[in-house]
Structure formats: C-alpha cells, structure tokens
Amino acid sequence: MDLPGNALFHPRSVAPGNAPAQATARTRPPLGQGLEFVWTDADFARVQTLIYRHAGISLQDGKNAMVYSRLSRRLRDTGHSSFHDYLGWLEAHDGPEWQEFVNALTTNLTAFFREQHHFDILAAHLRSAPSARWRVWCNAASTGEEAYSIAMTAFETLGPHAAFKLTASDIDSRVLATAAQGCIGSRASRA
C-alpha cells in the first residue's frame, strides 16, 4: 500500500508460512458438561486453516474452546448439525456466511487511549513534522475508540487545520458498522 506523505502503518501480524498444523480426528473432551455439537481436533484444524486462508488470522491451539463457543452460534443460525457439515458447506459456497465466519472468530478489544504510550509516540511523530501531510491508517479500528483517539491526538498536537487524514478499517464488518455510526455512548465508559 502506498501512502504519500508521512505515513504510519501497523499491520496485523500474520506469520507467513505459519499455516496451522494438521490434527488428528480425535474427539475433544467435553468443555464443561454436555457439548451440543461433536467437536474434533480435525474440525479445529480445519477452522484454523480456513480462517488463515480467508483472513490471514492465525488461531493458536489454545483457542479451541473459544472457537467451539463462537462457531456453535453459526451452526445454530445456519441450521447445521455438525461442524463437519457446516465447514463443508462454507467451503462450497462463496457468500455472506464467510463474513459471519470471520466476524465470529475475531476479538474486538477496544478503549479510548488504550496503550497510552502509543499515543505519546504518535504525538512525538506528529510534532516532528507539523506541516507535513499526514495519512494514518487504523487497520483494526473495532468500534472506533482507537480511531477517535488517533484523531484527538492529531487535533491536539497539530491543531484544527492540519493536513491530516485518518482511514479506519476492520476485518469484522459488525464492529466497523458500529464505528461508522460515530456514537460511542455508554460502552466507552466500561473501559
């Protein structure tokens, strides 16, 4: 991606060539009492491969219970009775369920000025070239708190008439739709 002028870029880290390892077909022990769906190591390995190929997300083995919980909702919503059937259906269709699959597997931790030292560093960069044309990409914007924090930092550092452009994006379409509304409201006070 080519960003003219001064640019700050912080991509999500994806380790190339770090595709998930194949797993055995052993059935997972129950996560608590009574699993609603059969969940095997092979199902988890398949999810790891699909989310990596489709979105570049590397799911670590320790995320097994989280993946089961989140994708169980997708099975219920789509009427599938097993992970094997759901994943096969997903692979055979190119449609909106892929985005739902991605949305289900992303984690959206957000807060205003989360990791304050990052904003101190941003302000120092901005002060180093106050008359430059700045373009900043917040690529994991979640519901908007980080993007708004970047904008506030730029406004306070450079003033209201600075040549500053902020682009915010997120792989999860639901949180991005929330961010686009621009209404943070009471959820920000929980941070």
Return the closest-CA partner of residue 55 out of 1, 10, 99, 91: 99
Q: 170 an active-site residue? A: yes
- pLDDT tens, position by position, 44-61: 999 999 999 999 999 999
Across the range 2-23, mean pLDDT stands at 38
Give burial (CB, 10 Å; 0-12/13-18/19+) of 85. Answer: middle
Beta strand 134-138 pairing with 6-8: parallel
Q: Provide the pLDDT confidence category of residue 107 given band limits of 50, 70 and 90.
A: confident
Per the DSSP assignment, residues forming a β-bridge with 134 are 6, 164
Question: What pLDDT, on the 0 to 100 scale, is given for residue 110?
Answer: 86
Of the residues 70, 114, 135, 174, only one is catalytic, namely 70
Return the closest-CA partner of residue 108 out of 21, 174, 41: 174
Domains of the chain are: 41-105 (1.10.155.10), 110-190 (3.40.50.150)
Question: What's the mean per-residue pLDDT of the chain?
Answer: 83
Of the residues 46, 74, 170, 172, only one is catalytic, namely 170
Q: Provide the pLDDT confidence category of residue 3 given band limits of 50, 70 and 90.
A: very low
- pLDDT tens, position by position, 118-167: 999 999 999 999 999 999 999 989 999 999 999 999 999 999 999 999 99
pTM of the model: 0.67
